[in-house]
Chain A
Amino acid sequence: MNFFVSPPAHAEEAAPMKTIPATEIKKEEAAGAGSISLEAVEKARTITAERIYWLIGLWLLILLAAVLIRWQLRHDDKLYEEGYYTREL
């Protein structure tokens, strides 16, 4: 097997190409091939248990982050009370 003259392995294994006439494509388009129905859209919009768990997880993360920020804010408020920051306009 000569590396320079032999066709690559994937070329040998590839399926033969099929030419689809334009008229056939047009016929498929007219029949609405690949079009998504409203029912499919409605199904995609359905609330599932998985989505609700995901949402609960998100709210828990938000709650945790808010508590941490609140701690930091309390610390900054203490510094403010001690006169570390400017207090008046």
Chain B
Amino acid sequence: MEEQKIQVKKALDERLMLGALIDLARKKLVPVHKHTIWYYMGALLLILFMIQMVTGPILLFYYKPTAETAYQSVAEIMVKLPYGWLIRSVHHWASNLMILIAFVHFFSTFLVKAYRRPREFTWLTGMVMFLLVLFLGYTGYTLPFDERAFFALNVGTDMPGAIPVVGQYVLEFLRGGAQVGAHTLNRFFALHVGVLPLALLAVLAIHIILVQMHGMSVPVSIEKKAREEKKKIPAKPMFPHFVWHDAINGLVLVGLLFTLAICMPSELGSVIDYLKPAPVGVKPDWFFLWVYQILKWIPTYVLGIEGEVVGITGLALAAVVIFCAPFVDWKSQRNERSPLFTAFAVVSLLVFLVCTAIGFFF
């Protein structure tokens, strides 16, 4: 029996190279220091993405993506489908938690300058995924095609319209015409269930391979301290130590997710009334509140240019600087402290937190 077991193991190893994979996992070391906690965010995001990949197709079996049927099909999922309310609520909250943890992951990697050589492409793929996750959240929010979704579609697709030169084309591409309507829903549905998840999967695969290849980034301060003290940075193996920690974190996350889904199930707004004017103070979903608040504060005209154009251009420029951080933060690339980019990251974090809070409460 024992010999047969060894033979089966040998046969599988020859075909699937399981031994090499286990060896790789055992050899991969995770640095242990005061910022180690931030390393757990990636695994949490992966767990949430897997939950979305399970709950999404279940909802897809029952969702009817036309302007006439979308609202009723979501209502049917909530009322008629056994545990439909739970599946939709888990999908809704997993998406919110995914965006929240993506923000935490983004700011933590930005602050510890995880984009330093040789991890430039890990940063770029991470940034692309961050944008995809935000866009997935926004497109998903509009699919019930209720009143909130209708106004979110109007406000959200109006914003890119302010981009100089290409704005109008982007607006019409997203809306499928000049106005929000049936074509807009079709496009957002196609983006939400087809284009964006496939793109996310492809970029995620590259991101994971890059993380495996280069390992975890150690903050400059920790590296400097280790160099000065002529000590090596302590590390623990990814497998089993960090996999077990990820498992515990994942379990707590699933508990939190179901608690939110059961205690605050996903809502469904009123049926769209196309003739009704947009209510005063209509707001986007929480993860775009900071953009909304910044644009709200900008005057109608700045130096003769439309305020919205100035705001969108400014935000786009800030995003480009963040995107290109590995190529413009030369100090960090030389493994030196980079106060300018630290200040930029701290200010970005404060702007995000303060504007979101103000947008939410006022």
Binding site for B on A (CB under 8 A): 35-36, 38, 40-41, 43-45, 47, 51-52, 54-55, 58-59, 62, 65-66, 69-70, 72-73, 76-77, 80, 85-89
Nearest to B263 among chain A residues (CB) is A47
| Binary contact readout B258-294 vs A (1 if CB under 8 angstroms, 0 otherwise) | 1100110111101000000000000000000000000
Q: How far is the CA of A63 from the CA of B265 in the complex (A)?
A: 23
A-B pairs with lowest CB-CB distance, top 4:
A36-B75, A88-B232, A45-B265, A73-B244
Given A59-B255, A88-B234, A76 and B240 touching (CB < 8 A)? yes
Having A44-B84, A69-B244, one finds 9 other A-B pairs with CB under 8 Å, namely A41-B75, A41-B78, A52-B262, A58-B258, A73-B248, A80-B241, A86-B235, A89-B232, A89-B234
- Is there a chain A Cβ closer than 8 Å to B331's Cβ? no
- Say yes or no: A45 contacts B267, CB within 8 Å: yes
Nearest to B241 among chain A residues (CB) is A76
Query: Which residues of chain B come closer than 8 Å to A51, judged between CB atoms?
Result: 262
Query: Which residues of chain B come closer than 8 Å to A88, judged between CB atoms?
Result: 29, 232-235
Query: Which residues of chain B come closer than 8 Å to A55, judged between CB atoms?
Result: 258-259, 262-263
Q: How far is the CA of A58 from the CA of B235 in the complex (A)?
A: 34
- 8 A-B pairs, CB-CB below 8 angstroms? A36-B79, A38-B270, A66-B252, A69-B248, A73-B241, A76-B241, A77-B241, A89-B234
Among residues 206 to 262 in chain B, which have CB atoms less than 8 Å away from a CB atom of chain A?
218, 232-237, 240-241, 244-245, 247-248, 251-252, 254-255, 258-259, 262
Query: Which residues of chain B come closer than 8 Å to A40, judged between CB atoms?
Result: 75, 79
- Say yes or no: B78 contacts A47, CB within 8 Å: no
Number of residues from B at the complex interface, CB < 8 A: 38
- Say yes or no: A38 contacts B252, CB within 8 Å: no
User: Which of B27, B80, B234, B270 contacts A87, CB < 8 Å?
Assistant: B234
- Say yes or no: A87 contacts B79, CB within 8 Å: no
Q: How far is the CA of A40 from the CA of B251 in the complex (A)?
A: 32
- Is there a chain A Cβ closer than 8 Å to B72's Cβ? yes
Query: Which residues of chain A come closer than 8 Å to B75, judged between CB atoms?
Result: 35-36, 40-41
- Say yes or no: B233 contacts A36, CB within 8 Å: no
Q: How far is the CA of A89 from the CA of B234 in the complex (A)?
A: 6
- Is there a chain A Cβ closer than 8 Å to B85's Cβ? yes
- Say yes or no: A87 contacts B255, CB within 8 Å: no
Among residues 58 to 79 in chain B, which have CB atoms less than 8 Å away from a CB atom of chain A?
72, 75-76, 78-79
Query: Which residues of chain A come closer than 8 Å to B255, judged between CB atoms?
Result: 58-59, 62
Residue of A44, A69, A76, A88 with highest tally of chain B CB at under 10 A? A44
- Is there a chain A Cβ closer than 8 Å to B56's Cβ? no
- Say yes or no: A89 contacts B236, CB within 8 Å: no
- Say yes or no: A41 contacts B241, CB within 8 Å: no
Q: How far is the CA of A80 from the CA of B234 in the complex (A)?
A: 11
Query: Which residues of chain B come closer than 8 Å to A80, judged between CB atoms?
Result: 236-237, 241
- Is there a chain A Cβ closer than 8 Å to B42's Cβ? no
Q: How far is the CA of A59 from the CA of B260 in the complex (A)?
A: 13
Query: Which residues of chain B come closer than 8 Å to A76, judged between CB atoms?
Result: 240-241, 244
- Is there a chain A Cβ closer than 8 Å to B31's Cβ? yes
Query: Which residues of chain A come closer than 8 Å to B26, judged between CB atoms?
Result: 85
Residue of B251, B263, B270 with highest tally of chain A CB at under 10 A? B251
Q: How far is the CA of A72 from the CA of B244 in the complex (A)?
A: 8
Nearest to B84 among chain A residues (CB) is A44
Q: How far is the CA of A62 from the CA of B254 in the complex (A)?
A: 9
Nearest to A74 among chain B residues (CB) is B244
| Binary contact readout B324-348 vs A (1 if CB under 8 angstroms, 0 otherwise) | 0000000000000000000000000
Query: Which residues of chain B come closer than 8 Å to A86, judged between CB atoms?
Result: 27, 29, 235, 237
Query: Which residues of chain B come closer than 8 Å to A36, judged between CB atoms?
Result: 72, 75-76, 78-80
| Cβ of A70 to closest chain B Cβ, rounded Å | 7
Q: How far is the CA of A52 from the CA of B247 in the complex (A)?
A: 24
Q: How far is the CA of A15 from the CA of B148 in the complex (A)?
A: 46
Query: Which residues of chain A come closer than 8 Å to B241, judged between CB atoms?
Result: 73, 76-77, 80, 85
Nearest to B237 among chain A residues (CB) is A85
- Say yes or no: B235 contacts A87, CB within 8 Å: yes
| Binary contact readout B1-40 vs A (1 if CB under 8 angstroms, 0 otherwise) | 0000000000000000000000000110101000000000
Given A76-B240, A80-B241, A89 and B233 touching (CB < 8 A)? yes
